[in-house]
Structure 1
Amino acid sequence: MPHHFYIRFVRLPLLLRILLITSTLICFFGLFIHLIEPENFPTVIDGIWWAVITASTVGYGDFVPLTPLGRMTGILLLLVGAGFLSTYFATLSSIAVTKQDEYQKGESHYKGQEHLIIIGWNERSKEIIHSFSKTKQPLILIDETLNSNPIPFHHLHFIKGKALRDDVLLRANIQDAKKVIITADQNLDELQADMNTILTLLAIKGINPNVLCIVEILTKEQFNNAKRAGADEIIETNKLTSAIMLDSIHTPGMVNPLSDLLSELNGKKLEYRTTDGDTVGKSFKQITLYFLSKKTILLGIKKGDDIYVNPQQDLVIEKEDQLLVITQGGS
């Protein structure tokens, strides 16, 4: 039985062991001084209070041992109890510093839920983090190139490591994450960056198949592979950039309005909606007025592979069409 108790005791955290030893010594000396000098220490509580004050070297002087044995007890308490108490506070400080250092260097685990994980440190992730800086949305940044948290504010938790490794994802608590954004690695060529993105996506979906993953793909060839790997949304950065540049050639001055539109979509949804009984067979003008009554803006219509933005007002909506709309975020 004593051996079993000892095994359980040594398995406790070091800080808890020191605290238990210190508390036991203080209680023992408090009881002992009460027994040998009951006149000066009328209750056990008075003895424990004296032991605490003595071990902490504060020394109020409200209770003082007067007998030789009582003073020897005080000396022994200072030699033993004060040492353990100092060790306790030193260990506590050391643990606090170590935890802070681990947090700053990206080595600590994240234990929250419903967080957004951003993979890769680059200009795109900077903008994303900046847009959330005034909200309470918890953010996790995973990157292997950084040595410390690049933006140390209390909503950003940094995890250092390769995001395709299970241990790194588990440190980011991928099981309870709400969304994941995988940005392309700017230190690799386009094909290698896409392959790294897909491997990371596979690792994430292997641990949490239900988490929503938004991935950045640079090459057209890897688009289908990203889809097969389970990407919920795929952003073809080069395709988008090329389209904007091409349209800028034909329509000078388009970039600024488009950039402003995208920035103002924060909190709103730009999406395709399928047609239903309220929209099929009606004109573009009728559907525009119908959507406005629901605080939704109709931008255009997609018919097969053809997209018509702000088409003729009398264009009729058919069953297989898709409606390009801007809606409020909660709708």
Structure 2
Amino acid sequence: MHFFLKVGLSLVRMKNLTLLFAALIFIVFCTVTIYLLEPETFESLLTSFYFVMTTFSTVGYGDYSPVTGAGRLFTVMMYLLGIGLLGVVIGKIVDAFSIFRKRKEEGKLAYTHEHHIIIVGWGKKTEMALKEILSSDPSVEIVIIDTLPTSPTDVSMERVHYVQGDPSEEGPFIQANIAKAKSVIIFADENITVASLRDAKTLTIAITCERLASNVHTTVEVMTEKQLANFSHVKVDEFILSQETISLLAVRSAMHQNVGNIVTQLISRTVGEDLFEIPTRPEWKTYGDAFHALLEHGATLIADRQKMDINRRLQEEIPSDAILTVICDDSTYHSIISKGVRS
């Protein structure tokens, strides 16, 4: 008993790779030995391997069994050592999965995929953005960076990943694979009450982000407009003025009814018509060509990048780097993308 206890403790202390290698060698040894002891009972190495594995796993179908004394004695030895070895290996595998899940919950695993969206900071805005992204694109994955001790979302969500760390440092961004990301969204820290201090932290994060991956599209939430000057040297692609945007939308809604509902509908994938980007086509020479071709398919062309006066530019030629924005429903957009549009 002391011998088996000592062997068991030695197996538990083994490194995973060493233990796996030892298990494979023992299985091969038993497979070859039992075949050499009883070649007539076990017609091939495949049969003896089948017998060894059913013995180790305690299944014991009984369709093959040794008939000689030497074969039976070796089987007993193989049974005593093999079950313990296989049990330790299975235990190590279970432990590895547990450690993996724990590290994922704590945001300690590096993200290795590409074309994902990184969201910095967890809060109500992040939660809403998460739902909107997941409903808008069925394939895109999201990486959340925050200092929370565990993931704020269910770790079983395959398309959402968590990285723990201070986003003002480069480590979390490298762990989130920012170099291969599609875009980054930086929300202001809701735990900071002073707007200027919130913007100061956001600025630090934006500088870190742009230093590591200046080619990645970056959207930053800024609390006050006067702080935009401090962001002038940071190559941020888009700014969202949080307080001003809400105030202006409230005023427009009060002065012109339903404006708020219209804007909400356009920026949400879950309600009504939406905004989509449409690639240009060789047959579209002018904005007028694109406008009328898209209109026939139920989509309305409203902008090229930041140019929203397309209806007054119908005679102008479309530049090669144009990014056209249309208003339509989801089915119309997918029909245009999949089938193409002819003028």
Name the counterpart of 1:67.
Answer: 68
Name the counterpart of 1:260.
Answer: 265
How far apart are 1:41 and its partner, in Å? 3.2
Q: Is 1:203 aligned to residue 208 of structure 2?
A: yes
Q: 182, 186, 204: which one pairs with 1:182?
A: 186
Name the counterpart of 1:85.
Answer: 86
Name the counterpart of 1:153.
Answer: 157
AA at the equivalent of 1:70: G
Distance 1:103 1:278 in 2: 51
Name the counterpart of 1:105.
Answer: 106
Name the counterpart of 2:141.
Answer: 138
How far apart are 1:252 and its partner, in Å? 5.9
How far apart are 1:116 and its partner, in Å? 0.9
SS of 1:107's equivalent? coil
AA at the equivalent of 2:189: D
AA at the equivalent of 2:143: I
How far apart are 1:92 and its partner, in Å? 1.2
Name the counterpart of 1:322.
Answer: none
Name the counterpart of 2:227.
Answer: 222
Q: Is 1:36 aligned to residue 37 of structure 2?
A: yes
Distance 1:222 1:83 in 2: 66
The Cα RMSD (Å) is: 3.6
Distance 2:36 2:301 in 1: 85
Query: Which piece of structure 1 moves more, 183-192 or 236-245?
Result: 236-245
AA at the equivalent of 1:156: V
- Taking structure 1 as reference, are residues 257 and 23 closer, same or farther at Cα in structure 2, changes over 3 Å only? closer
Distance 2:24 2:149 in 1: 43
SS of 2:19's equivalent? helix
How far apart are 1:94 and its partner, in Å? 1.4
Name the counterpart of 1:320.
Answer: none
Question: Is the CA contact (8 Å cut-off) linking 2:275 and 2:326 kept in structure 1?
Answer: no
How far apart are 1:162 and its partner, in Å? 2.0
How far apart are 1:207 and its partner, in Å? 1.7
Name the counterpart of 2:11.
Answer: none
AA at the equivalent of 2:244: K
Offset from partner CA, 1:213-232 (integer Å, 9 cap, x none)? 00001123321222312211
* Count of paired positions: 290
Q: Is 1:234 aligned to residue 239 of structure 2?
A: yes
Name the counterpart of 1:172.
Answer: 176
Question: Is the CA contact (8 Å cut-off) linking 1:298 and 1:326 kept in structure 2?
Answer: yes
Question: Is the CA contact (8 Å cut-off) linking 1:226 and 1:234 kept in structure 2?
Answer: no
- Taking structure 1 as reference, are residues 166 and 326 closer, same or farther at Cα in structure 2, changes over 3 Å only? closer
Distance 1:267 1:248 in 2: 20
- Taking structure 1 as reference, are residues 33 and 255 closer, same or farther at Cα in structure 2, changes over 3 Å only? closer
Name the counterpart of 1:116.
Answer: 117
SS of 1:228's equivalent? coil
Offset from partner CA, 1:190-223 (integer Å, 9 cap, x none)? 1221111111112112221211100001123321
Distance 2:46 2:249 in 1: 78
Identity percentage over the alignment?
A: 24
How far apart are 1:249 and its partner, in Å? 5.3
- Taking structure 1 as reference, are residues 47 and 214 closer, same or farther at Cα in structure 2, changes over 3 Å only? same
Name the counterpart of 1:48.
Answer: 49
Question: Is the CA contact (8 Å cut-off) linking 1:106 and 1:149 kept in structure 2?
Answer: no
Distance 2:119 2:79 in 1: 53
How far apart are 1:290 and its partner, in Å? 8.8
- Taking structure 1 as reference, are residues 247 and 52 closer, same or farther at Cα in structure 2, changes over 3 Å only? closer
AA at the equivalent of 2:174: L
AA at the equivalent of 2:208: A
How far apart are 1:187 and its partner, in Å? 0.5
4+ aligned runs moved over 6 Å, structure 1? none
Query: Which piece of structure 1 moves more, 51-60 or 34-43?
Result: 34-43
How far apart are 1:261 and its partner, in Å? 4.1
SS of 2:184's equivalent? strand
Distance 2:27 2:149 in 1: 47
AA at the equivalent of 1:327: V
